[in-house]
Structure formats: C-alpha cells, structure tokens
Structure 1
Amino acid sequence: MRLTYLTEKSISDFIAMALAEDIGDGDHSSLASIPADAQNQARLLVKGDGILAGVELAGYIFNAVDPTLQVEVLMQDGATIKHGDVALTVKGKAQSILTAERLVLNCMQRMSGISTYTHHLTDLIKGTNAKLLDTRKTTPNFRIMEKWAVVIGGGHNHRFGLFDMIILKDNHVDYAGGIKEAIVATQRYLQQKGKDLRIEVETRNLDEVKQAIETGGIHRIMLDNMTPEMMREAVAMIGGKFETEASGGITETTIRSVAECGVDYISVGALTHSIKSIDLSLKAYKL
C-alpha cells in the first residue's frame, strides 16, 4: 500500500535531516579506525518477537549513506519475527555500514514496536466492524514513519495533520460556544476558503451527540470517554447517519467491549506514544 504522505521527497527529506543530526561534520569513529577502502558485511539480527517494520525504509537509508551498499532483504515489512531471525544483510564499504547503522536501528526498532502493538490490538477486535486508528500523538519529525508502521501492523491512519481533516474537539467546541456554533462556523469557513475537508465532531455526552445529529453537515461523530453503555445508545441515536469513532483511554483490556458497541472506528493514541521498541542489532559477520 502506498500512502499519500509517503513520497520519495518526504522520505529523503527525513533521512537527510536525521543523518545531519547524527553525522554532523563526520562519523569520526569510523573514519579514524576503519580503512577507507575496507569492505565488510553485516546482518540485522532480531532479538525480540513481533511484527517487523522499517525494512523498506532501511533500504532508503543505506542508499542515502552510500549507493554502492548492497542490501539483501530476507524478511519483508509486516513479517512475523522471533528472536534469532535475520531480517536483512548489507555488504560494501565498512565505514558506510557503520555510519548508517544507528539510524537504521533507531527507525526499525521503534517502527517494529508500533506495528507489533497495532497488530495485537487489531487481533483483539477481529470479528467486529470496528477499524483501529492512530492519532496525532506522535514523535515530532517522525510522524511519517510512525503512521507507516501502524499500517504495516494492520491498523489505519487517522488524519495526518491539522491540515487534511477538521476535528472539532472539546476545546474547539467550548471556545466556539457549543456544538452547533462550532459546526456552523466551520461550514462557513470551508465555504469561504473553498476547501473540501471532512468534519468530525467530538462529543462528551448524549446531549452533545443529539446536537451534532440535529446540526448535521458533518461526516463523523467522536464518542469521547464514554462508557460502553453510553456508546451503544449513541450509536443507536446516530443510526448510521454519520460515521462513529470511539476515543479516550481505550486499552487492550477494554477495546473489545468498545468495538462491540458498534462503532466504525476506534482511535488509540498509545499506538504511537506508549510502545516498547523491538530489540534489533546490526552485527558484522564473516562469510
């Protein structure tokens, strides 16, 4: 699947900034200790269990550091991994392998942690109609990769940023003076600006759900921090007129009961803000 935010430019821009942060005016450890013409190889070892992510990105990173490096992918993004697996090998200039090593590992470890947890939560809601969504609770300047990892793990992306969808959250509603006021002002703004953006409204209780339904002109109603009983009633009130999304403090122990309320989507910030990275390492080896 090719995602709209995943372009050659977005990936290369990220890699360029990340390498500049890490290398500065040179990888002096490698330049000082390894002969410039030395050739070697390394393999990426898996030291944990989960779902692999970041393999394709690793190829871009190695190529950006040194286009002559030869990468052999042994396990693809989305593969189930276990301790002892080898995900890829890389051969070529030893200095280049060492320079790329940390960025490759940092990205793949975090992405694999995200894809693993996403896959776990997706499994928990199998058999329901609910789809698992990520949020904007991401690491600054790493959102592209984190959202990519969610998709690799079987989840779905919510809006990428503030620019590609409107979500009227509780503070927007309170500042605007209420549900109806926030929706009407938003509709007016979009008309004036000539923008075609989907509108979602966060609701905190059944009265706000009713107001959102009566006002209309929206695409999705978010049911925030509601009990399963309240969510079921809200879904019945909405009656398929608008998409529904459950949000707020949803965990692996509660996600199944939330999904069974009949919501279309469940958004979980923990997919990207509270995951444990999968342990990976890049080790030199002899043929």
Structure 2
Amino acid sequence: MQFPHAAARNAVTLALAEDAAADDVTTRWSVAPRQWATAAIITRQPGVAAGVPLAAEVYARVGGATQIDESVPDGTRLEAGDVLARITGPAHQIITGERTVLNFLQRLCDIATLTDRYVAAVRHLPVRVLDTRKTAPGLRLLEKYAVAAGGGHNHRLNLGAMVLLKENHLPAAGGISAAIDNVRKNMSSEGRAMAIEVEVATIPQFREALQAEPSWIMLDNMTVPLVAEAVRLRRELAAV
C-alpha cells in the first residue's frame, strides 16, 4: 500500500487546527523567530517504522522552513536508540509541530509493530494477517497503511469496498442463504461485481454458508477446536 498523501494532509490539517498550532503562544512569546535548531526523533524501544512521511507533512504546514533529513523508510525494523528522522529549521516551528508529529508516529509505529508480531507468530503457516474497519475516525487510510508497513494485509477499506454480511444483517435478511441470494440479485441489478463475505459463529452456520458459496467466510470468535472443524469441513468440500 502506497503512503496515502491526501489522507495524511487532511489528518495533519485537522490535527494542527485542534492543537491551535497557529496560535502557539508559549513558543511565540518565548523563542526568538530567528533561532535555528536541529531535532532528532529517536526510538525508545524496538519496533517497526510507519508514518515517517507525516513529519514532512506537519512541518510543511507549520511554516515550511524546516528540512527533514535521514528519514527511515516505513516498514524498517528499529532498535532502541535508532533515529527515525532529523529536523532542521527555525526552533519555533520545530517545537510547535513536535507533539503532532509524535502523536502520529507513536500511533502508526505501534500499529505496525504489533502487526509485525502477529505476522511473525504465523509466518510458518499458510495464513495472512488482516486488519478491520475498527480504526480511529479520520485515520483509516493511515492506520491501514501502518498495518501494511508491519507486514499485514488490508481487509475491506470501507462499506462500499465489498459485501460483509454480519450478525446484524442476517436476521433482517432471513438468514445466510437468503441474505447471499439478495446480495447477488441486487448486485447484478446495479451492474456491480465484488466479493461477498459472510460472518458465522457456529458450525451449522458455517455449513450453511459453505453451501451458499460466498467468496469468504469469517469465523467470529470461534474456539480453536471449532476453527479446526471448520477447516476440516472446507477441505472435505474442496475434495468432492
């Protein structure tokens, strides 16, 4: 996944506005405008880099006189004490943008680092680690980008990206089979084509979903033995 520059600009604009960066009275009244400085963003613990380009986005909005050097590519594994980036420019601009830059980097690096741990835990298995839509409002593209930086894969981006029939859809639609039939008919009538995924929580639901042949079946909060049973059933069907 490419770095989402447009989403980053929007997020930075909002972040600086809510921080009243244009009215940083403490810095404006205490630091001389011509005071020059160099700052380094240094990691305190091992992790995975994500969101480093946001530093440039922030400082371009804060004043534009700063320069970002030695930035680390996103997806890089880091050790404690590594330098993510060095910023040179007017001290008042560096100070004003500091917290916004760190807020973004801390959140996105955390997501990438945790994703990397999950990916490492299943590296010996034929599986992928996928993300969800449970993202912070306004930060979805950036957080999904961080998942990709950590070696994970993106699931659906939004409600229009694919069909995902969940526990709240199924009763209202008359069950799994009826819901999938409805989706296929309406999708066709609109001249669209996309994957259909259905969420199940029990083996009987899984069996019904298998018969309806969706693109994906999500196993919702199943125990390990139930997941193993679902995999066995799926393999049996594939062998027929």
Structure 2 residue 229 is the aligned partner of structure 1 residue 230: no
Q: How big is the shift at 1:77?
A: 1.7
Deviations 1:120-163 (A, max 9, x none): 11111011110001111111112222111111111111111112
Match of 1:31 in 2: 28
TM-score (norm 2): 0.91
Contact 2:49/2:109 (8 A) holds in 1: yes
8 Å contact kept, 1:48–1:83: yes
Question: d(CA) in 2 for partners of 1:53 and 1:9?
Answer: 16
Q: 232-241 or 191-200: which moved more?
A: 232-241
Give the corresponding residue for 1:245. none
Residue 220 (structure 1) aligned to one of 194, 199, 216: 216
In structure 2, do the counterparts of structure 1 residues 34 and 241 end up closer, same or farther at CA, with 3 Å as the change threshold? farther
Q: What is the SS of the residue equivalent to 2:168?
A: helix
Which amino acid is the alignment partner of residue 89 of structure 2? G
Q: Identify if the C-alpha distance between structure 1 residues 94 and 45 changes in structure 2 by more than 3 Å, giving closer, same or farther.
A: same
Q: Secondary structure at the match of 2:192?
A: coil
- What is the Cα deviation at residue 240 of structure 1? 9.0
Distance 2:22 2:62 in 1: 14
Which structure 2 residue ranges, 5 or more long, are not aligned? none
CA distance in 2, matches of 1:154, 1:19: 30
Deviation, structure 1 residue 40: 1.4
More helix by share: 2
Q: CA deviation at 1:24?
A: 5.8
Pairs within 5 Å for 1:32-47: 32-47=29-44
Amino acid corresponding to residue 2 of structure 1 in structure 2: Q
Q: Does 1:139 align with 2:140?
A: no
State the Cα distance separating 1:25 from its structure 2 match: 4.9
Deviation at residue 169 of structure 1 after TM alignment: 0.7
Report the identity percentage. 35
* Alpha-carbon shift at residue 74 of structure 1 (Å): 4.3
Corresponding residue SS for 2:26: helix
Aligned equivalents of 1:44 and 1:11: distance in 2? 19
Per the alignment, residue 81 of structure 1 pairs with 78
- After TM superposition, give the deviation of residue 229 of structure 1 in Å: 2.6
1:64 alignment partner in structure 2: 61
Which residue, 10, 15, 18 being the options, matches 1:13? 10
Q: What is the SS of the residue equivalent to 2:136?
A: coil
- Report the residue type matching 1:135 in the other structure: T
Map 1:128-207 onto structure 2 (within 5 A).
Answer: 128-207=125-204
Paired positions, count: 238
Letter in 2 for 1:235: V
* 1:185-234 deviation line (CA, Å, top 9, x unaligned): 11122123222221100112222122122223x21011222222322232
1:2 aligns with 2:2: yes
Q: Are the equivalent residues in 2 in contact too, given 1:59–1:71 (CA < 8 A)?
A: yes
Once the 2 structures are TM-superposed, how far is the Cα of residue 237 of structure 1 from its aligned partner? Answer: 2.5
Letter in 2 for 1:119: D
- Alpha-carbon distance in 2 for matches of 1:59, 1:175: 48
> Is the counterpart of residue 100 in structure 1 residue 92 in structure 2?
no
Q: 1:167: Cα distance to partner?
A: 0.6
Deviation at 1:119, TM superposition (A): 0.7
Task: Kindly state the Cα deviation for residue 63 of structure 1 after the two structures are TM-superposed.
Answer: 2.1
**Separation in structure 1 between the aligned mates of residue 83 and residue 221 of structure 2, nearest angstrom:** 42
Given residue 237 of structure 1, which amino acid in structure 2 is its aligned partner?
L
Q: Is the 8 A contact 2:21 2:62 kept in 1?
A: no
- Determine the C-alpha separation between the residues in 1 that align with 2:187 and 2:133: 22
Structure with more relative contact order (C-alpha pairs < 8 Å, separation 6 or more) = 1
Q: Deviation at 1:98?
A: 1.3
Partner of 1:273: none
Contact kept? 2:50, 2:105, Cα under 8 Å: yes
CA deviation profile, 1:61-96 (whole Å, cap 9, x unmatched): 222323321101243222222222222111111121
The structure in which a higher percent of residues are strand is 1
- TM-score, normalised via structure 1 length: 0.77
